């Protein structure tokens, strides 16, 4: 649990904010020097997401999506804008959101809102989103804040909407990264937090074809 590795909550959040302020506003910066895996990541995410967007009585809509920890909009540009009518972005670093406006190009006109906010303080608009996409950012929240945020995400879903988490998973327990002030949890810890938030897991998938030296990455869909 993060309570075992996060000694000072205020410091945990402020150190992370400071870290990201110094990161270049590029795809490579967003991916910690692994910009070359972006296409593999996006293609897998698209396949994962499209299974919920296909025809059927419980089909997830394509009106509006929310990109959490959006950075410069890598996922908004290549995954969400091609599939949804409008997208909202939220990130703690204003410079990234400013850069997003040029990075997204013409299609960026369909981004309705750019929210500059840490997810621990952010509340999605109730009953507004078909998909809330949360990638490579849950490690910046304590367990309690993550559980509370997921509860607010649940309230932010439209009928048949889903919350998606895609993130690194530790082999066992919770590992602290002092460099960017984040934690990496194992699968059991993440599943427990999801259940605690009152969400039901619909699908879980391990990312393939990523470099061997990085953490295993898993994608979860829930509502």
The pLDDT tens digits for 38-89 are: 999 999 999 999 999 987 888 999 999 999 999 999 999 999 999 999 999 9
Cβ-contact 124, 132 below 8 angstroms? yes
- The reported pLDDT for the residue numbered 95 is 98
Mean local confidence (pLDDT), 156-185: 97
Residue 92 annotated in ligand binding? yes
Average the pLDDT over 160-167 and give the result. Answer: 98
Mean pLDDT, residues 159-187 taken together: 97
pLDDT at 57: 84
3-state secondary structure of 201: strand
179 is in an annotated binding site: no
In the three-class reduction of DSSP (H, G, I as helix; E, B as strand; rest coil), residue 55 is classed as coil
Let me know the angle formed at the C-alpha of 138 by 215 and 158, rounded to the nearest 5 degrees.
Answer: 125
Higher pLDDT among residues 201 and 3, named by residue: 201
- 94 assigned binding-site residue: no
Confidence at residue 198, expressed as pLDDT on a 0 to 100 scale:
98
pTM of the model: 0.97
For residue 3, pLDDT beyond 80? no
pLDDT band at residue 171 using 50, 70 and 90 as cut-offs: very high
Reference 215, options 144, 166, 145; nearest CA is: 166
Q: Cα separation of 137 and 174, whole Å?
A: 15
Asked if 53 and 81 count as a contact pair (C-beta separation under 8 A), the reply is no
| CB count in 10 Å sphere of residue 113 | 11
CA pair distance 65, 14, nearest whole angstrom: 28
Task: Tell me: pLDDT of 4 over 90.
Answer: no
Q: What percent of the chain has pLDDT over 90?
A: 95
The neighbour count for residue 120, using CB atoms within 10 Å, is: 16
Residue 171, annotated as binding a ligand: no
Inform me whether the pLDDT recorded for 182 exceeds 80: yes
What's the rounded mean pLDDT across residues 160-187?
Answer: 97
- The domains of the chain are located at 2-222
CATH of domain 2-222: 3.40.50.150
The enclosing H or E element of 27 equals helix 27-30
Q: How many helices (H) and strands (E) does the chain have?
A: 8, 9
Residue 112 has pLDDT above 80, yes or no: yes
| Cβ–Cβ under 8 Å, residues 206 and 195 | no
Mean pLDDT of 106-111: 97
The mean per-residue pLDDT over the stretch 129-149 comes to: 98
pLDDT at 56: 81
69 annotated as belonging to a binding site for a ligand? yes
- Is 91 within any annotated ligand binding site? yes
Angle at CA of residue 220, ends 201 and 73, nearest 5°: 140
> Higher pLDDT residue, 5 or 46?
46
């Amino acid at each position: 649990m993060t309570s075992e590795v996060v000694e000072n909550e205020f410091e945990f959040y402020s150190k992370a904010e400071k870290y990201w302020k110094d990161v270049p506003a590029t795809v490579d910066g967003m991916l910690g020097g692994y910009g070359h895996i972006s296409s593999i990541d996006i293609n897998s995410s698209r396949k994962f997401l499209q299974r919920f967007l296909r025809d059927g009585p419980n089909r997830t809509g394509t009106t509006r999506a929310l990109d959490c920890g959006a950075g410069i909009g890598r996922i908004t540009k290549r995954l969400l804008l091609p599939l949804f009518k409008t997208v909202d972005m939220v990130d703690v670093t204003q410079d990234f959101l400013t850069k997003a406006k040029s990075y997204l190009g013409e299609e960026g006109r369909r981004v309705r809102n750019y929210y500059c906010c840490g997810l621990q303080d952010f509340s999605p608009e109730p009953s507004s989103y078909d998909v809330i996409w949360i990638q490579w950012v849950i490690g910046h929240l304590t367990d309690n804040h993550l559980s509370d945020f997921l509860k607010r995400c649940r309230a932010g879903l439209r009928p048949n909407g889903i919350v998606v988490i895609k993130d690194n998973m530790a082999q066992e327990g919770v590992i602290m990264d002092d460099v960017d002030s984040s934690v990496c949890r194992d699968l059991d810890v993440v599943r427990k937090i999801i259940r605690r938030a009152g969400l039901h897991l619909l699908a879980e998938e391990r990312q393939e074809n990523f470099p061997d030296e990085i953490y295993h990455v898993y994608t979860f869909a829930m509502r």
